[in-house]
A = this chain, B = another copy of it.
Amino acid sequence: MSLKGKRIAFLIGPAFQDEEGTEPRKYLVGKGAEVVYIGPQKTVYRGKYGRAKVKVDKTFDRVRPDEFDAVIIPGGSAPEHLRVEKVAVNFVRDFIELGRPLAAICHGPQMLISADSLKGRTITCYEGIRDDVKLAGAKYVDEPVVVDGNLITSRKPSDIPMFNEAIYEALKSKD
């Protein structure tokens, strides 16, 4: 089934995890979706390992959460940059409230901590931040992909294929 007509916001910032910031886009564009890179500045960000570059399509102040069918938050150091930008945190908080699929991998859930969106949710993440998501009220589990309602989470780059599939399934089932 094609994802034609689906519009996905991919949140990006400095030192994103290279594959997490690019592979889901390739997969979802291949399925027919439109993927829009949203960042704090209209610039080109580099991956933390120098293996990828991403050009911001739109800045946070130019978009509204309800323009998108899903949001993806990659890991690396980008979430630590985005979570101190009020406009980015508000975007995530408001999007979560729409009940549409939000997918975060690795350090991505740091944004959900700052958006205060984890209370009572079951998620996974990079193990180095598991204590932080627990303090934010989440139940942490160590699995390649966890789907809890509209929230899709994964742990690390090797989980990307299952992460991608879970995003696809969530968007497909929203038709």
Contacts A84-B130, A110-B128, A132-B135 aside, 12 further interface pairs with beta carbons under 8 A come to A77-B128, A79-B128, A80-B128, A80-B129, A83-B128, A83-B131, A84-B128, A110-B132, A113-B131, A114-B131, A132-B132, A135-B136
Copies of this chain, count:
2
- B77, B128, B135: the one contacting A135 at CB < 8 Å is B135
Q: Is A127 an interface residue (CB 8 A)?
A: yes
Most chain B beta-carbon neighbours within 10 Å: one of A83, A127, A135: A135
The docked-state distance in angstroms from the alpha carbon of A83 to that of B126 is 12
Interface residue tally on A, bucketed by range: 10 to 19
* Interface assignment of A81: CB less than 8 Å from any CB of chain B: yes
Cα–Cα distance between A22 and B159 once the two chains are bound (Å): 35
A113 in complex: contacting residue of B83, B110, B127, B132, CB < 8 Å:
B132
A137 to chain B, nearest CB (A): 9
Q: Tell me the A80-111 residues at the B interface (CB within 8 Å).
A: 80-81, 83-84, 110
> Are B84 and A113 in contact (CB-based, < 8 A)?
no
Q: State the 6 A-B residue pairs at the shortest beta-carbon distance, nearest first.
A: A80-B128, A135-B135, A132-B132, A114-B131, A84-B127, A135-B136
User: Can you give 22 contacting A-B residue pairs, CB < 8 Å?
Assistant: A77-B128, A79-B128, A80-B126, A80-B128, A80-B129, A81-B128, A83-B128, A83-B131, A84-B127, A84-B128, A84-B130, A110-B128, A110-B132, A113-B131, A113-B132, A113-B135, A114-B131, A129-B132, A132-B132, A132-B135, A135-B135, A135-B136
The residues in A between 117 and 159 inclusive whose CB is less than 8 angstroms from any CB of B are 126-132, 135-136
